[in-house]
Chains A and B, each alone.
Chain A
Amino acid sequence: MNVAADRPGRYGRMMTSVLRGTLRLDVLINRIYPTDFNPLYYTGGLSNLFLLILVLSGVFLFFYYVPSLGGAYDSIDYITQRVPYGDIIRGIHRYAADGFIVAVLLHLFRNWFTDRYLFSRDNPWISGMILLLFAGFIGVTGYQLVWDDRAVALTTMFAAMLQSIPAIGPLLVRLFLGGTGVSDETLVRILMLHIFPASTLYLFLWWHYTRIRHPKIWPPAVWVLFCVGLVFLLAGLIPATSTGAAAPAVRPTTLPLDVFFLWPFALLNVMPPGAVVVLLVVLFVLGLAIPYISRREAPPQMGVRHAGVAQVIDGNCTGCELCYYDCPYNAIIMVPSPAPGLSKAAQNRTLLAVVIESRCVECGICIGACPFEALELPKFLERDIRAQVTDALRPAEAVRS
């Protein structure tokens, strides 16, 4: 389905106005910060920064955490009250998690509004959606690990949501709880469900970067100092606290809910657990489908041409690597040259460019990068371009004559 084709104009106009707003915001921030310090250009890097802070502070907390019904709350209390700077590290872990989600959401909306999800960029988009899903899940299990009365209520609500899934619900609940009810086993599983998905985030990040040639994976020093400082400051000024110790027999009437991670649980006030699960699944699937359904223009309107995958002309390639560095999609790799080239410049080459067909988007950037005429788009040859340029110039020549 193509939204632009079904409803020409309406969706496109809305997205264009959002794009203009995003660019205006860029210009505004560029007036305050130099362009290389504009935080909106580093939302992905900022996410990485917060993720590293989470990992480092998480390792610290892991040393002291006891995953058992009797020990979890007390160990968190010990970290907060007795371990030097433990309360600060706990606060840093808490606020870096919020910072991570804010940076990820900024990254998502910015890339959505500026159309950076089309064609070959669907790969980073889909891996990004999975990263977001995992991040949300890790946040929920983080709140459960504290094992205060909020954690008990969250665990109960989460089990109810799992239970509502047809056919496999009861099995999932048993897997999650480690039995028929909450036990020490449950805390061990929640800890694993916190740490294991957190570790796999780096695997998905690798996938996220696979097809991006020059990803900005780290923010400039100004923003590293500011963000690290901000989480320290917040941890000191508004310490992360637990609610009361878990008392499974007492059902709390109100719970403080984190707006970034726990909003699905707030929906349970107005919707049955099954409906919340369906809503989450629909949101996730829609998120995955954005590259395919939410184009403001159809490919013909964008003037997309099918030029064919770039081809290396073996005899002309000198192994200079210019195309390799210029390709924004990591579609060109350099391999040891099996034999010298045919042209004079290619006689002493040691490397040979090879195009990975599945990654090539037929953009022609490599053609422009190559000074040795060693690359071609098979359905859009240089002579065709020359002919087009000549045709385009013809009226001007006629007017001049």
Chain B
Amino acid sequence: MRTAYRWGILFLCAVALVFALGIVVGEATDRWLFGGAMIGGLLIAYSFVLLLLRKMGLVGPRKAER
């Protein structure tokens, strides 16, 4: 399962990179709506990366649950 999570994180990082490039493109071409949507996509991708890291146990549960 950890391997699947690892591949998932790699995939999401690649997607996040595309969104980051999208932010640059949006800013360079003054397409603010596009840039804003790319910021949103990037944050959502990060949220799933964090979820997978948590499922892998790399970011721990709260102190009370240890």
B39 touches A232 (CB 8 A): yes
**A237 interface residue (CB < 8 Å to B):** yes
- Nearest A-chain residue to B46, judged by Cβ: A225
Contact of B36 among A34, A222, A226, A232 (CB under 8 A): A232
Query: What 1/0 mask marks residues of chain B from 26 to 52 whose CB sits below 8 Å from any chain A CB?
Result: 000000111111111111111100110
- Contact residues of A: prevailing secondary structure: helix
Minimum CB–CB distance from A61 to chain B (whole Å) comes to 15
- Nearest B-chain residue to A234, judged by Cβ: B40
**A88 interface residue (CB < 8 Å to B):** yes
Contact of A229 among B33, B44, B61, B65 (CB under 8 A): B44
B54 touches A236 (CB 8 A): no
Once A221-B50, A225-B44 are accepted as A-B contacts, the answer to whether A233 and B32 lie under 8 Å apart by CB is: no
Query: What 1/0 mask marks residues of chain B from 49 to 66 whose CB sits below 8 Å from any chain A CB?
Result: 011001100000110010
Question: Which A residues are in CB contact (< 8 Å) with B40?
Answer: 228-236
Most buried by A among B32, B36, B44, B45: B36
**A178 interface residue (CB < 8 Å to B):** no
**A314 interface residue (CB < 8 Å to B):** no
A229 touches B47 (CB 8 A): yes
A226 touches B47 (CB 8 A): yes
Contact of B54 among A34, A85, A234 (CB under 8 A): A34
Alpha-carbon distance A225/B65, docked complex (angstroms): 23
Contact of B38 among A221, A226, A236 (CB under 8 A): A236
B42 touches A229 (CB 8 A): yes
Minimum CB–CB distance from B61 to chain A (whole Å) comes to 6
A85 touches B36 (CB 8 A): yes
- Which range contains the number of A residues in contact with the other chain? 20 to 34
Alpha-carbon distance A140/B5, docked complex (angstroms): 44
- Nearest B-chain residue to A85, judged by Cβ: B32
Within 8 A of B (CB), among A307-360: none
Once A226-B43, A229-B41, A233-B41 are accepted as A-B contacts, the answer to whether A91 and B50 lie under 8 Å apart by CB is: no
B54 touches A37 (CB 8 A): yes
Within 8 A of B (CB), among A233-263: 233-237, 239
Contact of A222 among B32, B35, B50 (CB under 8 A): B50
Mark A residues whose CB is within 8 Å of B.
33-37, 84-88, 91, 221-223, 225-226, 228-237, 239
Mark B residues whose CB is within 8 Å of A.
32-47, 50-51, 54-55, 61-62, 65
* 10 residue pairs, one from A and one from B, having the closest CB atoms: A236-B37, A229-B43, A232-B40, A233-B40, A88-B36, A225-B47, A229-B44, A226-B47, A236-B36, A229-B40
13 A-B pairs (CB sep. < 8 Å): A34-B55, A36-B65, A84-B32, A85-B35, A85-B36, A88-B32, A225-B50, A229-B42, A233-B41, A236-B34, A236-B40, A237-B37, A239-B33
